[in-house]
């Protein structure tokens, strides 16, 4: 961590008059040039996780002022019966905490069903399993227990629920005032280099 401090010295004339000295911590916020196009280019990550899940993450820039929101878009495509229970955002090495309220999450496509839609999907899955069991002359396979899954109810075996989930988040960064009140909430960027 780099700390900046202002030192003031008042040299007083005279034999028995000591000099006065004072120190004041100075917060320095490094900001990139407004002309820097490199920092407004989006960050795009697209990967496949063990043939289970294809994911894409798009962050709309590389630099954001304190107190603003960071727009992040996620596309999650299941390639198998996989579950995603939560997405965690870390800012400066710390998980996003409750004190940064104001973050927004919007599910644009896919995602968990409403309770009414989930009940309908489960009824559809029961009918399908009963039909298959009748066709094969066997007992219907029981439904899995309902679980929270950001990808929706893909474990029911109904192809119409196997789709892409798109989520947009606007992640709230803390303000200087919030960080000044509580030192534990401070974001300190790493300024080391080789």
pLDDT in tens, 15-56: 888 888 999 988 776 666 666 666 678 899 999 999 999 999
What is the tens place of the pLDDT at every residue in 103-161? 788 888 888 888 888 888 889 999 999 999 999 999 998 998 888 888 888 888 777 77
The pLDDT, as a whole number, for residue 192 is 59
What is the distance between the alpha carbons of residues 88 and 169, in angstroms, rounded to a whole number? 11
Query: CA quadruple 28, 32, 34, 35: dihedral positive or negative?
Result: positive
List all residues 6 or more positions away from 99 whose beta carbon is below 8 Å from its beta carbon.
Answer: 174, 178, 182, 185
| Buried/exposed code over 47-61 (b: 16+ C-beta within 10 A; e: otherwise) | eeeeeebebeeebee
The pLDDT assigned to 76 comes to: 93
Provide the token pair at 89.
């955002």
What pLDDT, on a 0 to 100 scale, did the predictor assign at position 166? 92
28 vs 75 pLDDT, higher one: 75
Which token pair is 107?
């599910």
Higher pLDDT, 102 or 79: 79
Average pLDDT, the chain: 83
Q: What is the pTM of this model?
A: 0.68
pLDDT for 71 beyond 90: yes
Paired sense of beta strands 104-109 and 94-95, if any: unpaired
Say what the pLDDT of residue 111 is.
82
């Amino acid at each position: 961590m780099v700390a900046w401090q202002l030192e003031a010295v008042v040299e007083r004339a005279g034999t028995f008059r000591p000099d006065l000295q004072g120190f004041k911590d100075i917060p320095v916020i490094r900001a990139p040039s407004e002309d820097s196009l490199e920092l407004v280019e989006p960050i795009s990550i697209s990967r496949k996780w063990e043939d289970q899940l294809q994911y894409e993450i798009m962050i709309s820039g590389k630099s954001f002022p304190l107190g603003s929101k960071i727009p992040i878009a996620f596309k999650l495509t299941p390639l198998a019966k996989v579950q995603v229970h939560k997405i965690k955002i870390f800012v400066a090495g710390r998980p996003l905490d409750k004190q940064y309220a104001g973050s927004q999450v919007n599910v644009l496509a896919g995602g968990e069903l409403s309770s009414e839609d989930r009940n309908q999907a489960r009824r559809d899955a029961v009918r399908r399993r009963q039909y298959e069991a009748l066709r094969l002359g066997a007992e219907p396979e029981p439904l899995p227990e309902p679980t929270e899954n950001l990808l929706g109810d893909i474990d029911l075996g109904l192809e119409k629920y196997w789709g892409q989930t798109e989520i947009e988040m606007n992640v709230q960064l803390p303000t200087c005032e919030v960080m000044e009140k509580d030192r534990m909430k401070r974001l300190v960027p790493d300024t080391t280099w080789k």
